[in-house]
Amino acid sequence: MYQKDIPGCGMVELIQKKLQEAGCRQIGVNYPGVTLFCKIQYDTCHVLVVADYRNPGESKLSTETLVSLKESVTVFLKAKGFVSINVVVLVVTYSEYLAEDLVDGRVDYWVADSYHNQFVIPAGQPASFGGFETIIRNAFYAETYPKQEAYVEPRQEQPRTSIRHQKKPKRNAIVNDFIIAVNIIIFIVLESKGSTLDGYFMLEHGAFFWPSIKIHGEIYRFLTCIFIHFGFSHLVNNMIVLYFLGDNLERAVGKMKYLIIYLVSGLSGSLLSCIYYLIIDEYVLSGGASGAIFGVIGALLYIVIINHGKLEDLKAFNLILLVVFSFYSGFTSTGVDNAAHVGGFLAGLILGKLLYKKPEQPIQNVESVSKMY
């Protein structure tokens, strides 16, 4: 996948524009991604901190930053003669969970949810604040702002296999061809509606993002993310690997078992990725068939090994080399969803053992058999 920089125009700029049009005074601060606006009522000053947190992976914002900013503003305004200074942080992000995690209960906050296009006042937070809430709501409902891209962790495309596609039995790999066709059709449809390199667009169309699963219950992302690809090269590289390896596995296990291996491996990759990034508290937007493809490789590796190191034109050495190279490339690169790869591969190994039945060897020497009687 590709990392996309969040453009300068959009929700933050619209909110700032509405605040300025409403006569709110802007306070200059030297904090990247932060803008301050204030409204004065006699000896009271209400301060709204607009914090751009749409790209948490690169943002320098932190809980300590917001707390320090609040304290600095309070000291500054008290020196100006204000008796009461109130501060609320408006976190502009694409998940309420991200905002809650950022403030950590140490400052009052609201959320400008750029994913669901809504203004949220969390429970226990100020319902009204010097009229700022009305201005923010107007910014959401009075105009339509350009949608933003969500943060996308870079992800390694599937490597091309070094295994040559030599002579194979003349059996159609219907399921594998169907899966490839589905991936291509989905890619074409998405490209016709937007850009598959647009992180926000892909987030809206089924990309994997664990906060959406945990907070909003969007469990369908476990499945949909394995059929979408970020860009043409991502699709082509994955489909090349699937084309050269998938039909071998389908012929070995059968159509239905192959479909089970592919889907369950993809889901297992998504699940392990979800658990891993939830534990380390890292926000990753991802998609692609790599988890399922690693499952295909895992199942094939098991089958090749128990068939004395060879299956059709595949050899155990080639597959082991492919596995080692793929994991080495992933673990030595930044932004690769290795959890999905590992989850898919392990699921493929297990399913290969459970679903594959080694064919009985045909009788090749009738004379030697007759001597047994």
Burial class from Cβ neighbours inside 10 Å (0-12, 13-18, 19+) for residue 157 reads buried
d(C-alpha 301, C-alpha 36), whole Å: 58
> Which is catalytic among the residues 270, 290, 333, 368?
290
H/E stretch holding 355 reads helix 338-355
> Which is catalytic among the residues 46, 205, 234, 341?
341
H/E stretch holding 111 reads strand 109-113
Would you say 114 and 151 are in contact if contact means Cβ atoms under 8 Å apart? no
H/E stretch holding 89 reads strand 84-93
Token code pair at residue 128? 């009204």
Strands 310-311 vs 118-120: parallel, antiparallel or unpaired? unpaired
Annotation says 341 is catalytic: yes
Residues 6+ apart with CB under 8 A from 126: 88, 108
Annotation says 116 is catalytic: no
**Cα radius of gyration rounded to whole Å, the chain:** 27
d(C-alpha 191, C-alpha 187), whole Å: 6
DSSP structure class, residue 226:
G
Residues with catalytic roles:
290, 341
